[in-house]
Every structure is written in C-alpha cells, then in structure tokens.
Amino acid sequence: MSSLIKISPSILSADFSKLGAEVISLEKAGADYIHIDVMDGHFVPNLTIGPEVIKKLRPLTKKVFDVHLMISPVDNFIKDYANAGADIITFHPEATKDTSKTIELIKKENKKVGISLKPKSSIDLIKDHLSEIDLVLIMSVEPGFGGQKFMPEVLEKTKKLKEIIKSKGFNIDIEIDGGINFENCSLAKQAGANILVSGSTIFKENKGDLKKNIEILRKN
C-alpha cells in the first residue's frame, strides 16, 4: 500500500520569507503535491495565501497544487484560484449555497474537484456528490490554524467514507489533514487515506530534513 501513498506538504508551515525556495525544496525532497491552505478570516479565523502568491509560485514547480479553499462564499473565488495555477480545488459544503453548482464551476475550469469535511461535518453532506468529485479532504483538526493536535475521532468517518467509495466503485482520493505526524500517519492510512497532508512534521522534525520526513510519513 505504501507505494500508493501521496504526501502533500502544507506550505502553511513553510518560511514565508522564502516561500519560492521552500516550494522548490519540497519538489526536490520528493513531495507528490504542494498543499496550499487558503483562509479568508471569515469562514475560518485566519488569513493566508491569495491567488497572486500562487501565481508567483506556479512557474517554480510542476508539482500538483492542491488548493484547499476555506473561504465563503467560495464560488466568487474559484476562477481566480484556477487561473492562478491550482490543479485541485477543494471547498467546504458549508461555504456554498449549492454544492452541485460549486462542483460545476470547478469542472468548468478543468480542475479536479475536492470537498472537505470538518471534524464535526457529516458524510451525509457529500454522499450524493461522490460521483461528481475526485477527492475528499477529511480535516483531523478544526480548520484555521497550523500546528494543532490530531483528532483521532475522525478515523471512524474516514473508514466509513472508504467503505462507501469502495462499494460504489468510485475512484476518489481520500486526503487527511491536521496534526499528521510519524506516529498517527499509519492510523490515517489504515482508515483509508491515501494522501497525507503534513506541515509542522515535514518542516520541523529531524532538523527540517524534508526528504527524510516525507519518506518516513510515506513508509510508516
């Protein structure tokens, strides 16, 4: 199974004074995706990266830009992030009045579609949309801040989701984000996640040895 595991380092934990160099280093270190958290200070209590920053980073790497929009109303910003260079655009069902319409807007931009579930958000919010999407992002912390502690209670939801996807024969990635470290990454994989988002662990463990940290997360 380990060969199927993708690692998507979250640049929320990178050094913002040299973000371009950090992205290049992540590519060299073997990252599969680059995870970009977008927060609006309204849907979640923090502000982060806008489309202009992504546009500047885009020429530096061919890696998939895995863009998680924690913004509301999300429809107003999809085109901007698509044009900036996002490859996967993930949104929260709570951030739109019409989930199907938001999915269509992302597809119209020829981008992959992800839907994210916060720790307390039910699978029922997305069950009817699984045939239309490419990825489900399970949040294992409350969205809004990096460096939080992993919430093991989301593993049950991850398992259930994996069972539904398998029973329907859908080809959907399950990504997990929030407090993922060397200890709990195996639990996330066992529950059915095949993409791990990690920030603090990748950038800070083993004196910031990105390559080593990515490999440990992939293999543990």
Please give the average per-residue pLDDT across 198-206, as a whole number: 96
Which of 42-51, 78-87, 115-124, 185-194 is predicted with the least confidence, judged by mean pLDDT?
Answer: 42-51
Instruction: Quote the percentage of the chain above a pLDDT of 90.
Output: 92
Out of 15, 32, 37, 173, the active site residue is: 37
| 100: pLDDT strictly greater than 60 | yes
The two three-digit tokens of residue 107, written as one number: 């597809």
Confidence of residue 146 (pLDDT cuts 50, 70, 90): low
Out of 75, 128, 177, 209, the active site residue is: 177
Please confirm, yes or no, whether 177 is among the known catalytic residues.
Answer: yes
The two three-digit tokens of residue 18, written as one number: 């040299």
Confidence of residue 1 (pLDDT cuts 50, 70, 90): very low
Residue 45 is predicted with a pLDDT of: 83
Q: Quick check: 12 and 38 in contact, CB under 8 A?
A: no
| 98: pLDDT strictly greater than 60 | yes
Residue 3 is predicted with a pLDDT of: 45
Please give the average per-residue pLDDT across 42-56, as a whole number: 92
Mean pLDDT of the chain: 95
Specify whether domain 2-219 bears CATH 3.20.20.70.
Answer: yes
The two three-digit tokens of residue 135, written as one number: 């990825």
Please give the average per-residue pLDDT across 50-77, as a whole number: 97
Please give the average per-residue pLDDT across 160-179, as a whole number: 96
Please give the average per-residue pLDDT across 47-62, as a whole number: 95
Residue 2 is predicted with a pLDDT of: 34
What is the DSSP track for the chain?
Answer: -GGG-EEEEBGGGS-GGGHHHHHHHHHHTT-SEEEEEEEBSSSSS-B---HHHHHHHGGG--SEEEEEEE-SSGGGGHHHHHHHT-SEEEE-GGG-S-HHHHHHHHHHTT-EEEEEE-TT--GGGTGGGGGG-SEEEEESS-TT-SSPPP-TTHHHHHHHHHHHHHHHT---EEEEESS--TTTHHHHHHHT--EEEESHHHHHGGGG-HHHHHHHHHH-
Alpha-carbon distance of 166 to 158, in angstroms, equals 12
| 121: pLDDT strictly greater than 70 | yes
Q: Which pLDDT tens digit goes with each residue over 68-87?
A: 999 999 999 999 999 999 99
Residue 47 is predicted with a pLDDT of: 86
User: Where exactly are the structural domains of the chain?
Assistant: 2-219
